[in-house]
Structure 1
Amino acid sequence: MAGAKGDTVLNRAVALRIAACGIMGLGAALLIAALLLSTYTKGQISKIPLDIDATLVSDGTGTAFDPASLNGERFVVDEDVPLVLQQQLSVESPANAEVVTLQVGSTLRRTDQQQDTGLLLAMVDTVTLDRSTAEAVSSESNPGGAVQRPRALEDETPPTNIALPHEGLTYRFPFDTEKKTYPFFDPIAQETFDANYSGEEDVNGLTAYKFTQNVGMDSDGKLVEPVRYASLYDDDADSQVSARAALWGLEGDPEEMITMTRYYAAQRTFWVDPVSGTIVKQTDRGFHYYAREALEPEVTFVDYSVTSTEETVESQVAAAFDERDRVSLWGRVLPITFTALGLVALIGGALLGSFSLRAESMLLDPGLDDTGNRFFGGRGDEGEPVPGAEAKTEKLPAQRPSDLPPDRPV
């Protein structure tokens, strides 16, 4: 009976040892998982999302051409007109683990005119970006960007694209944006211009990096090197216009045909979430004009200044915080949690293993245990006697009265 009980206890000790090994293995696995999450997995998570679908709206005022005056006796340019710049972002193919293709439809409208009569600018731009660096990429099957060929409003034929290779950044900044200068592509100018870091600002509770970009202007907004407008028409119909001097509003012979070239310049300010690279706010100043000399504007097509609406800022800040939370979860919260749990499991497994070994060794050979057959030692008189209790003592003989000296009283 006693032997069966000992076997049962021994089996339990072995089971405890196996459990200890399992717990320690779990702890090691959690530590490895924490290391992978903080290195490899974070790099895979910190990428441009594949589900972007946003409408960005900016509004403001400016000086703008009146399209209705094309049929009049003179081109009319109105001042202080309300304007809205709208961008519709969506994801197209190819979009995979490495790249994402953004299609961005942009329009600038006069809101004081109805429907398409107030349309001033329209463009559909497509660009393929590296999801990690946010830079434009090209391949044999994909030129890295394209713009849609303009069509008349009544044209129902499918749209066609014009290849336009992009360079640098477009529409986004990279994850972990740095305080430095980035090349940022302007699809209207079809060139890359520097976006320079200029400080930090709070945008609806988010600390954003501020970048400024000048296209053909200096920092004061003065024309220095305007860009000749790149027409999307085969005959350059909107980049060079010939009209009678009277239509241009020029003095002299009203019937003289005058050819003017369209030029473009711009200033932009981006407020960027440094974690996700999301542009949470943006201001745009664009200047399109006709002139015979690049630095001498004669007829303004549109000169506008617009800023992201509050609704757009709120939605972009919310999107940036969502990206931050996702990166923080996989790159910081889970690694810290797994590390803590892994250490607890390792320590707990080691203690449980030590306990099981002591129990097993005592059952196999009680003499190996020095605690009096107890895991935590004996108590009081239940233990073995101390060495002092075992020492032999000498008995002193008792003196009898007859052994006393004669002169000593009894």
Structure 2
Amino acid sequence: MRKVLGWLLLFLGGFLLVVAVLGWTWLPDAAKRTPLNVDTYTYLTGEADKLNPATGEVENVPVAYQSHTVVDPDKSDDDVVAFVNTKCINIDENDPPDCLEGDDPRLIQNSIDTFATDRHTAMAVDDAKYLAADAVPHEGLVNKWPFDAEKKTYPYWDGTLGYAVDAVYQGTQDIDGLETYEYAVDVPETEAEILEGTQGTYAHTENLWVDPVTGSIIKQEGTQTLKLPSGDLVLDIAVVYTDETVQTNVDDAKASISQLNLLTKVVPWVALVAGLLSLGGGFLLLRRRNEPGAPAQEEAPTGAAV
């Protein structure tokens, strides 16, 4: 029995040491990937100076902004995740629904964007395999930063311009006990298609606070200004994540960080210690059995009478 238990402990110890090695080598890369079950709603609030097409006057209005991002499982795989993002921006009057129909005068803008990103780097992937037939090619970061984000400048997708702009690292900020990295985008007045078929000028500023461990965007605020070639204002909007959205993002990031720490830090060390103890116990049992003077296993008597 001692021999069997010794070999079992040796086998268990070897297995646990393999788990520890995998926990330090393979598991971090496997765990730090954008999940394939993303289905998130983000809410922003703010105000805008907006041209009223009915009166020709610029009006200051409160704004409600919803962004819904969901994974397209049919176009995603182990390396790349495909997303569908729907944005609805409304004048926040008379308690409008999150998304309005096209003939509602409170509607500012509705849009749908499809894109794909690398599950490790979070960079856009321009491959028809992952995109809808009419998808606009993206570049840079789109909806998150990479895991283990760095204190550096990243390329960040600007949908109005149709190319990536610089998101410049600014510093760190604590948000409800979570350390975040702040990045800033500053697009000066630039010629662009401000409405479908209408050229004008576009300016944009944006600040993003990112959890560096998971790469998730915790807080975001920005401005956008659209003008006609004549210089007449079409839209000047400023929005920021609602407090509820920020709190949800903080809670989700903390939960994800705890899971990553468990998988990549706690599990390997526990497996290492348990593995070494198991190996030690197995060797001791087998060695003790083979030591001189150890009691021999009793044999059944032969020739016993029936």
1:117 is paired with a residue whose SS is: coil
The equivalent of 1:130 in structure 2 is 118
Q: Does 1:63 align with 2:43?
A: no
Using the alignment, how far apart are the partners of 2:38 and 2:111 within structure 1?
19
The equivalent of 2:303 in structure 1 is none
Using the alignment, how far apart are the partners of 2:30 and 2:201 within structure 1?
43
**How far did 1:139 drift?**
2.4
Match of 2:232 among 284, 299, 302: 299
| Percent of pairs with identical residues | 29
Q: Which amino acid is 2:277 matched to?
A: V
8 A contact 1:91–1:103 mirrored in 2: yes
The equivalent of 2:301 in structure 1 is none
Deviations 1:337-356 (A, max 9, x none): 11111111112222222211
Show the 5 A alignment for 1:101-250: 101-112=82-93, 116-142=104-130, 144=131, 162-215=134-187, 217=188, 223=189, 226-229=190-193, 231-232=195-196, 236=197, 239=198
The equivalent of 2:16 in structure 1 is 30
Query: Where does structure 2 lack aligned partners over 5 or more consecutive residues?
Result: 298-306
The equivalent of 2:264 in structure 1 is 331
8 A contact 1:272–1:279 mirrored in 2: yes
Using the alignment, how far apart are the partners of 1:306 and 1:44 within structure 2?
36
**How far did 1:362 drift?**
5.9
The equivalent of 1:264 in structure 2 is 202
**How far did 1:231 drift?**
4.9
Using the alignment, how far apart are the partners of 1:67 and 1:334 within structure 2?
61
Deviations 1:360-409 (A, max 9, x none): 76649xxxxxxxxxxxxxxxxxxxxxxxxxxxxxxxxxxxxxxxxxxxxx
8 A contact 1:86–1:107 mirrored in 2: yes
2:238 is paired with a residue whose SS is: strand
Using the alignment, how far apart are the partners of 2:159 and 2:141 within structure 1?
11
Q: Does 1:87 align with 2:67?
A: yes
8 A contact 1:63–1:303 mirrored in 2: yes
Q: Which amino acid is 1:76 matched to?
A: E
Q: Which amino acid is 2:113 matched to?
A: D
8 A contact 1:38–1:330 mirrored in 2: no
**How far did 1:262 drift?**
2.2
Deviations 1:114-148 (A, max 9, x none): 65212122211111111111111122434x5x6xx
The equivalent of 1:253 in structure 2 is none
Following TM superposition, where does structure 1 have runs of at least 4 consecutive aligned residues deviating by more than 6 angstroms?
A: none
2:9 is paired with a residue whose SS is: helix
Bigger-Rg structure (1/2):
1
8 A contact 1:190–1:230 mirrored in 2: no
Q: Which amino acid is 2:283 matched to?
A: A
Deviations 1:285-309 (A, max 9, x none): 11111123xxxxx211111111100
Cα root mean square deviation, aligned: 2.0
8 A contact 2:194–2:227 mirrored in 1: no
8 A contact 2:194–2:202 mirrored in 1: no
Query: Where does structure 1 lack aligned partners over 5 or more consecutive residues?
Result: 1-14, 70-74, 147-160, 218-222, 240-260, 293-297, 365-410
**How far did 1:58 drift?**
1.0
Q: Which structure carries more strand by proportion?
A: 2
Using the alignment, how far apart are the partners of 1:183 and 1:88 within structure 2?
22
Using the alignment, how far apart are the partners of 2:168 and 2:267 within structure 1?
35
Using the alignment, how far apart are the partners of 1:327 and 1:286 within structure 2?
36
Q: Which amino acid is 2:257 matched to?
A: R
The equivalent of 2:30 in structure 1 is 44
Using the alignment, how far apart are the partners of 1:27 and 1:334 within structure 2?
14
The equivalent of 1:386 in structure 2 is none
Q: Which amino acid is 1:341 matched to?
A: A
Using the alignment, how far apart are the partners of 1:197 and 1:340 within structure 2?
40
The 1:187/1:359 distance shift into structure 2, 3 A limit, reads farther
TM-score normalized with structure 2 length: 0.88
Q: Which amino acid is 2:117 matched to?
A: L
Larger relative contact order (C-alpha < 8 A, sep ≥ 6)?
2
Q: Which amino acid is 2:182 matched to?
A: K
Q: How many residues align?
A: 289
